[in-house]
Structures are given as structure tokens and as C-alpha cells.
């Protein structure tokens, strides 16, 4: 059921936008998002299905970039200064299954941090538009 909801959110890419900062606040603002991303990056790198995508990426840099992205997209005051998603993922040959696995790892991380399901879905809806720039295969 949880996977189905995530897939439906991804299918709605482009329909959701952060109209306010309520998601940002629900995630504990920048500090809360940063703690979530620290755990998420550890899980991503250890994942047997998609960990290879992150093998050569410095964890600290990835945490910083993801924190700024989630902070910005959720209505926070952060500025994401990394490369555009399409540019940074263009040559990685990321399949839909890889992207879906990343979403599952993110959901597992949010579950481990005790983030309520509805709040998770609100963040996933805000992130869903990135799907079209990340899946390249």
C-alpha cells in the first residue's frame, strides 16, 4: 500500500508545490532535515540495489546538497546551489526501479525518524517533479 501511494505521488509530478513552509516546519526545519539526510545517505550507500550510484560521492557533500534541496522544496529559506537534476543525472542511466528504490529508502528513513505517514507523503509530493529529471533509462 505504501509503495502504491508513493508511485501515485510520483505520477502526479508537477502538480504539487510548497505553498507555505508547513512541510519544512513539520520536518524540524533545516536541522531536522539535515539529521534525516545524514541517516538517509548512510542507508543509500549501504543499499545493495542502488548503493553503487553513490559509491564515489562524498557523504558530507551529498548530505549538504540533499538538505538544501529538501529545505528549499519544502518551503524553507535554504538555497540549493548544486547542479540541476537533469544535468547531474543525465549520464547515470537511472531506471524507474532505481528511483523507486530510492523513494523506499527515503520512506524507511522517515519511518525510522518517526515522521508521520501523512507528513512523509506531503514531502514526497513536493519531491515528485524531480522524477522526470532523474530517471534517464
Q: Which residue ranges make up each domain of the chain?
A: 2-10+21-134
Report yes or no: 29 and 75 within 8 Å, Cβ to Cβ. Answer: no
**110 vs 80, higher pLDDT:** 110
Q: Which of 13-17, 45-49, 89-93 has the lowest mean pLDDT?
A: 13-17
Express each pLDDT in 5-36 by its tens digit: 444 444 433 334 445 889 999 999 999 999 99
- Tell whether domain 2-10+21-134 is in CATH 1.10.260.40: no
> What is the reported pLDDT for 92?
64
Report yes or no: 120 and 40 within 8 Å, Cβ to Cβ. Answer: no
Predicted confidence (pLDDT) at residue 3 exceeds the cutoff of 80: no
The rounded mean pLDDT for the chain is 82
> What is the reported pLDDT for 104?
95
- Torsion region of 44: left, alpha or beta (phi above 0 gives left; psi -120 to 50 gives alpha): alpha
Joined together, the cell numbers standing for residue 56 give 564515489
**Residue spans of alpha helices (H) in the chain:** 2-11, 22-26, 29-46, 59-73, 85-89, 96-112, 117-127, 131-134
Amino acid at each position: 500500500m505504501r509503495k502504491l501511494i508513493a508511485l501515485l505521488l510520483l505520477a502526479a509530478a508537477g502538480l504539487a508545490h510548497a505553498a507555505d513552509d508547513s512541510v519544512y516546519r513539520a520536518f524540524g526545519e533545516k536541522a531536522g532535515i539535515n539529521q534525516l539526510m545524514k541517516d538517509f545517505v548512510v542507508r543509500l550507500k549501504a543499499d545493495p540495489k542502488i548503493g553503487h550510484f553513490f559509491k564515489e560521492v562524498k557523504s558530507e557533500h551529498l548530505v549538504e546538497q540533499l538538505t538544501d534541496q529538501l529545505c528549499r522544496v519544502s518551503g524553507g529559506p535554504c538555497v540549493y546551489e548544486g547542479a540541476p537534476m537533469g544535468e547531474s543525472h543525465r549520464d547515470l542511466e537511472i531506471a524507474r526501479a532505481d528511483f523507486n528504490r530510492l523513494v523506499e529508502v527515503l520512506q524507511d528513513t522517515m519511518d525510522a525518524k518517526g515522521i508521520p505517514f501523512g507528513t512523509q507523503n506531503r514531502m514526497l509530493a513536493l519531491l515528485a517533479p524531480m522524477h522526470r529529471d532523474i530517471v534517464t533509462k
